[in-house]
Amino acid sequence: MPPSPELSTLTSLVLWASFAMSALFAIIAQRTHFCTMGAVSDIINLGDWTRMRQWAFAAGWAMLGFGLMAWAGWIDPARTVYASPQWLWLSALTGGVLFGFGMVLASGCGSKTLLRLGGGNLKALVVFLAMGLAAFATIKGVFAVVRVSTVERVYVEFASGTSLADFAAAAFGVDARRAGLWLAVLLGGALMAWALRGRDFRTPVNLLGGLGIGSTVVAMWWITGHLGHVLEHPVTLEDTYVATGSGRIEALTFTAPMAYTLEYLLYFSDRNRVLTVAVVSVPGMVAGSALYAVLTRSFRWEGFRSTEDLVNHLVGGALMGIGGVTAMGCSIGQGLSGISTLSASSFVAVAGVLTGAVAAFRYQIWRLERSA
């Protein structure tokens, strides 16, 4: 049974809005040099916390936006892809460490890879392919068997959910949405206040990075969780969220979407394959970055300088693909989208990403010292 014209129109609207938000994310990230790996690199190599403050401001702003929308009833926090009664802490930690190590070897995380690809960087194309294939193998292939039979066997199950809001609601006997708003104000406000304490951070460009990136995450929650919410699907007669591959509320993330994008391209002639929010976010990022590069005349082709450089990027891309799926999100998926929901797993995953990134930088320094 074909979907109704109204449902088709709504699906197209959600997809185009998601594409636009991804492109906007890319433009803002390019203009402000927003980058998780770059933030860690600046701290280790320069002692500069400015870009980390930018990331913290974006995370805090996204927390506030999500908390307000959940409290107002615009979105249901229990229906996000991060909501689960099982706290897969080992998956989040292990995957985060792998992803963090890989993003340093690959010269950037998943979002940075797409940004560089749009700017003409052919190394990013290799990382994209390695990351997408490894991610797909971790979702459905050989690495999925390893993932399910190892780290996913270790978890803690709770009666309600595994967000900090759920924990607070159970502890104090209050409504989870109200608890979520309180925590969003406290934690999000603290992150933003810490960011603003840095004198070097208080510039228009850095504020644009924090507010702009955080706002695109909030906008994606609204697009998939409010605009795309259908109370009664004409076929299943159940409430659903259109254009999301999971049937749940989704926001920006880039590891699994790379795998789904490759799958869509490979099976393009299969009528059962449809576009989803995850799939359109990938070309949206590339298109936004390419547009910015052309307008600013910064587009240039760039390739590998050596065989070792190629190997590092291949290994880094593979580690990010495996780690991002295992952790259920990347430095953006867990680091901004997931953390905005106050998911406990997201905080663990971010800790893993930062730990892996620091370890990779230490490894690179060790390699340089040995070759000197």
pLDDT tens track for 65-82:
999 999 999 999 999 999
- 138 vs 171: CA distance, rounded Å: 36
Rg (CA), the chain: 20
Mean pLDDT for the chain overall = 94
User: Is the pLDDT confidence value at 153 over 50?
Assistant: yes
pLDDT at 46: 94
- 279 vs 259: CA distance, rounded Å: 9
User: Is the pLDDT confidence value at 371 over 90?
Assistant: no
User: Is the pLDDT confidence value at 263 over 50?
Assistant: yes
pLDDT at 85: 93
User: Is the pLDDT confidence value at 113 over 70?
Assistant: yes
Q: Which pLDDT band holds residue 15 (cuts at 50, 70, 90)?
A: very high
User: Is the pLDDT confidence value at 284 over 50?
Assistant: yes
Residue matched to tokens 């004409």 = 234
Q: Which pLDDT band holds residue 4 (cuts at 50, 70, 90)?
A: confident
- Arithmetic mean of pLDDT, 81-102: 96
Percent of the chain with pLDDT over 70: 98
- Number of domains into which the chain is organized: 1
Q: Are 90 and 154 within 8 A, CB to CB? A: yes
Q: Would you say the pTM of this structure is higher than 0.75?
A: yes
- Arithmetic mean of pLDDT, 334-362: 97
- 212 vs 217: CA distance, rounded Å: 9
User: Phi/psi of residue 73, each to 5°?
Assistant: 85, 10
Q: Which pLDDT band holds residue 238 (cuts at 50, 70, 90)?
A: confident
pLDDT at 1: 44
- Arithmetic mean of pLDDT, 310-337: 96
Q: Which pLDDT band holds residue 309 (cuts at 50, 70, 90)?
A: very high
Beta-ladder partners of 157: 86
What secondary structure, in 3-state letters, does the chain show?
Answer: CCCCHHHHHHHHHHHHHHHHHHHHHHHHHHHHCCCHHHHHHHHHHHCCCHHHHHHHHHHHHHHHHHHHHHHHCCCCHHHECCCCCEECHHHHHHHHHHHHHHHHHCCCCHHHHHHHHHCCEHHHHHHHHHHHHHHHHHHCCHHHHHHHHCHHHCCEECCCCCEHHHHHHHHHCCCHHHHHHHHHHHHHHHHHHHHHHCHHHCCHHHHHHHHHHHHHHHHHHHHHHHHCEECCCCCCCCCEECCCCCCCECCCCCHHHHHHHHHHHHCCCCCCCCCCHHHHHHHHHHHHHHHHHHHCCCCCCECCCCHHHHHHHHHHHHHHHHHHHHCCCCCCHHHHHHHHCCEHHHHHHHHHHHHHHHHHHHHHHHHHHHHC
Q: Are 321 and 133 within 8 A, CB to CB? A: yes
- Find, among 145, 143, 125, 126, the residue nearest to 134 by Cα: 143
Task: For residue range 20-44, list pLDDT tens digits in order.
Answer: 999 999 999 999 999 999 999 999 9
- 140 vs 256: CA distance, rounded Å: 11
- Which residue range forms the structural domain that includes residue 31? 5-371
Q: 180-184, 191-195, 242-246: which range is least confident on average?
A: 242-246
pLDDT at 129: 97
User: Is the pLDDT confidence value at 2 over 60?
Assistant: no
Q: Which pLDDT band holds residue 3 (cuts at 50, 70, 90)?
A: low
pLDDT at 273: 86
Q: Are 329 and 135 within 8 A, CB to CB? A: no
Spatial CB neighbours of 68, under 8 Å, sequence gap ≥ 6: 181, 184
- Find, among 11, 31, 75, the residue nearest to 218 by Cα: 75
Q: Which pLDDT band holds residue 237 (cuts at 50, 70, 90)?
A: low
pLDDT at 121: 96
Q: Which pLDDT band holds residue 359 (cuts at 50, 70, 90)?
A: very high
Q: Are 227 and 75 within 8 A, CB to CB? A: no
Q: Which pLDDT band holds residue 209 (cuts at 50, 70, 90)?
A: very high
- Arithmetic mean of pLDDT, 337-350: 97
